Amino acid sequence: MNESRKLVNWVAGVSTLIVALLIIIVVNEPQRDQVSRAAAARAVALTVAAKSEILASAPETSWFPAELQSEWYVKYMDYLYEKGLLDPETCPPTEESALSAVTRGDLSDMLTGQGLAEDVSEALAKYRLENGAKKAQRKVGKAEFWEFYDLFREAADPRGVVHELVTDVYGTPNNVAEAAPWTAYTRDGKFLFEGLYLDACIDKNVRLLVRDSDILKVEEIVSSEIVYENAWISGVSEAGVTIFIGNIKREFPVKGVLQDEAEISGQIGDLYLKNGTPNRLVLKKERITGTVLAVRDEEIEIEGYGNVPLSPSFKIYRTYGVLKEQQKKDILVGYHMQQFVVAGGEICAALTTERPEIDTIRVLLMSDQYKSLFHEEITLSCDGMAVLEYGGEKEKQSRSVAAGEKVTIASDDERLAGGRMIFRSANEGGMITVESISRGQGTPVYPGHMEITRETAGLLLLNEVDLEEYLKRVVPSEMPQSYELEALKAQAICARTYAWKKIQDNTYSQFGAHVDDSTNYQVYNNMETYESTDRAVNETFGQLLAYGDTVIEAFYYSTSCGHGTDGSVWGSDAAALPYLTAGPISEAGTPVDLTNNEAFAAFIKDMDAEAYESEFAMFRWQVTTTNRILDEKIGGVGQITGLTVTERGPGGIAKTLKVVGTEGEKTFQGQSRIRNVLGNERLTLTRKNGSTAQGFDSLPSGFIYIENAGTDEDNVTSFVIYGGGSGHGAGMSQNGAQAMAKKGKVCKEILQFFYHSCEVVDIGDVE
Residue that is last in its domain, among 329, 352, 375: 352
User: Is residue 744 one of the residues assigned to a domain?
Assistant: no
d(CA 225, CA 223): 5
15: pLDDT strictly greater than 90: no
Coil, helix or strand at residue 540:
coil
| Mean pLDDT calculated for residue range 458-464 | 97
Residue 451, domain member (yes or no): yes
Pick from 100, 131, 156: which residue ends a domain? 156
CB of 194 within 8 A of CB of 182? yes
On whether the CB atoms of residues 428 and 385 are closer than 8 A, the answer is no
b/e sequence 9-31, b meaning 16+ C-beta within 10 Å:
eeeeeeeeeeeeeeeeeeebebe
Pair 117, 245 in one domain? no
Distance from C-alpha of 199 to C-alpha of 148, rounded to nearest angstrom = 24
Q: Are 547 and 554 in contact (CB under 8 A)?
A: no
Strand partners, 302: 292, 306
Best CA proximity match to 748, nearest among 580, 453, 544, 503: 544
> Is 523:461 a contact under the CB 8 Å cutoff?
no
pLDDT digits (tens, 9 = 90+) for 259-306: 455 578 889 999 999 998 988 889 999 999 999 999 999 999 999 999
CA–CA dist 263, 241 (Å, integer): 12
Mean pLDDT of the chain: 91
Same domain, 244 and 377: no
Question: What pLDDT was estimated at residue 590?
Answer: 83
Q: Output the pLDDT for position 6.
A: 44
In this structure, is residue 14 part of a structural domain? no
- Residue 105 inside a domain? The answer is yes
Phi and psi dihedrals of 6, rounded to 5?
-60, -40
State residue 10's pLDDT score.
Answer: 43
H runs (alpha helix) in 95-159? 95-99, 104-113, 122-125, 142-156
Answer yes or no: do 374 and 449 share one domain.
yes
pLDDT confidence of residue 29: 47
Task: Based on the fold, state whether residues 516 and 464 are members of the same structural domain.
Answer: yes
> Are 393 and 487 part of one and the same domain?
yes
Beta-carbon contacts of residue 489 (< 8 Å; ≥ 6 apart): 536, 539, 540, 747
DSSP three-state, residue 567: helix
Instruction: Write down the pLDDT at residue 374.
Output: 97
In whole angstroms, what is the distance from residue 110 CA to residue 40 CA? 10
Chain segment 335-372, per-residue pLDDT in tens: 998 999 999 999 999 999 988 889 999 999 999 999 99
Is residue 252 domain-shared with residue 200, that is, in the same domain? Answer: no
Q: Residue 718 is which amino acid?
A: S
Average pLDDT of the residues in 740-767: 94
Per DSSP, the three-state class of 378 is: strand
Q: What is the pLDDT of residue 119?
A: 56
Considering the domain architecture, whether residues 417 and 511 belong to the same structural domain is answered as yes
Model confidence at 3, in pLDDT bands (50, 70, 90)? very low
Q: Is 77 exposed, middle or buried (0-12, 13-18, 19+ CB in 10 A)?
A: buried
User: Does 62 share its domain with 187?
Assistant: no
- The answer to whether 636 touches 630, Cβ cutoff 8 Å, is no
What is the predicted pLDDT for the residue at 591? 84
Number of independent structural domains in the chain: 6
Q: Which of 124-138, 155-169, 604-618, 623-637 has the lowest mean pLDDT?
A: 124-138
Give residue 525's pLDDT.
97
pTM of the model: 0.82
Dihedral sign, Cα of residue 192, residue 197, residue 203, residue 207: negative
| pLDDT for residue 28 is more than 80 | no
Is the pLDDT at 256 greater than 60, yes or no?
A: no
Does residue 571 lie in a domain region?
Answer: no
Handedness of CA 271, 274, 276, 278 (dihedral sign): negative
- Note whether residue 472 is domain-resident: yes
Contact between 731 and 706 under an 8 Å Cβ cutoff? The reply is no
Tens of pLDDT, residues 617-643: 999 999 999 999 999 999 899 999 999
Asked if the structure places residue 556 within a domain, the reply is no
Model pLDDT, residue 11: 39
Report the amino acid identity of residue 721: I
CB 170 within 8 A of CB 246: yes
Q: Which of 203, 209, 269 is nearest to 236 (CA)?
A: 269
Domain presence at residue 272:
yes
| 369 and 502 co-located in one domain | yes
Backbone angles phi, psi at 556, to 5 degrees: -145, 165
For the chain, give the longest Cα–Cα distance.
117
pLDDT digit string, tens, across residues 513-541: 999 999 999 999 999 999 999 999 999 99
pLDDT, tens only, 406-442: 999 999 999 999 899 999 999 999 999 999 999 999 9
**Buried (b) or exposed (e) across 477-511, using 16+ Cβ within 10 A?**
bbbebebbebbbbbbbbbbbbbbbbbbbebbbbeb
- Measured over the CA atoms of residue 426, residue 429, residue 433 and residue 434, the dihedral's sign is positive
Q: Which amino acid is at 337?
A: M
Picking from 101, 132, 156, the residue at the C-terminal end of a domain is 156
In the β-sheet with 397-401, what is the strand arrangement from edge to edge? 397-401, 386-390, 421-425, 449-455, 458-466, 360-364, 515-516
One-letter amino acid of 123: A
Task: Name the residue with higher pLDDT: 321 or 217.
Answer: 217
Does residue 433 sit in the same domain as residue 537? yes
HEC readout, 38-94: HHHHHHHHHHHCCHHHHHHCCCCCCCCCHHHCCCCCHHHHHHHHHHCCCCCCCCCCC
The answer on pLDDT for 151 being more than 80 is yes
pLDDT of residue 259: 45
CA–CA distance, 309 with 724 (Å, rounded to integer): 52
Q: Which residues pair with 315 in a beta bridge?
A: 349
Residue-range definition of the domain harbouring residue 656: 599-723
Examine the domain organization and report whether 246 and 379 are in the same domain.
no
Domain shared by 92 and 179, yes or no:
no
Please compute Rg for the chain using Cα positions: 33
pLDDT of residue 14: 42
